[in-house]
Amino acid sequence: RKEVEQDPGPFNVPEGATVAFNCTYSNSASQSFFWYRQDCRKEPKLLMSVYSSGNEDGRFTAQLNRASQYISLLIRDSKLSDSATYLCVVTSPTGGFKTIFGAGTRLFVKA
């Protein structure tokens, strides 16, 4: 089983749609959780951190459920510019600080 698993995608949605990404992690000792965005042929960049209380940044909402070891990202009112790969990222203290990336979910937003 992979340490971080994401929806395989790709997701094809029209502008204005709401889209949800799901992610699960296997190590219950994981400490920090993030969503990163990676545009084609670019490096990953932090989109938002994920907290147990949930957090929202404009059209983006992230949720963490530690009991279920589940992370989600919701994008409302999708824009063309949201088209990218979304990476679920988990840090683990096992063997020292280590960041594990999910395989990513590709999103295509179409006009």
CA atoms of 87 and 90, how far apart (whole Å): 10
The distance of closest approach from Cβ of residue 16 to other proteins in the complex, given in angstroms and rounded to an integer, is: 28
- Phi and psi angles of residue 7, each rounded to the nearest 5 degrees, phi first: -55, 135
Amino acid at 18: T
Q: Could you say which of 49, 55, 61, 69 contacts other proteins (CB under 8 A)?
A: 49
Q: How many CB atoms lie within 10 A of CB 9?
A: 15
Q: Could you say which of 8, 46, 52, 70 contacts other proteins (CB under 8 A)?
A: 46
Stretch that binds other proteins, among 15-23, 52-60, 64-72, 94-102 (CB under 8 A): 94-102
CA atoms of 82 and 60, how far apart (whole Å): 11
For other proteins, the closer CB: 63 or 102 = 102
Estimate to the nearest angstrom the gap between the alpha carbon of 17 and the chain centroid: 17
For other proteins, the closer CB: 45 or 79 = 45
Residues that bind other proteins (CB under 8 A): 32, 34, 42-46, 49, 87, 89, 91, 95-104
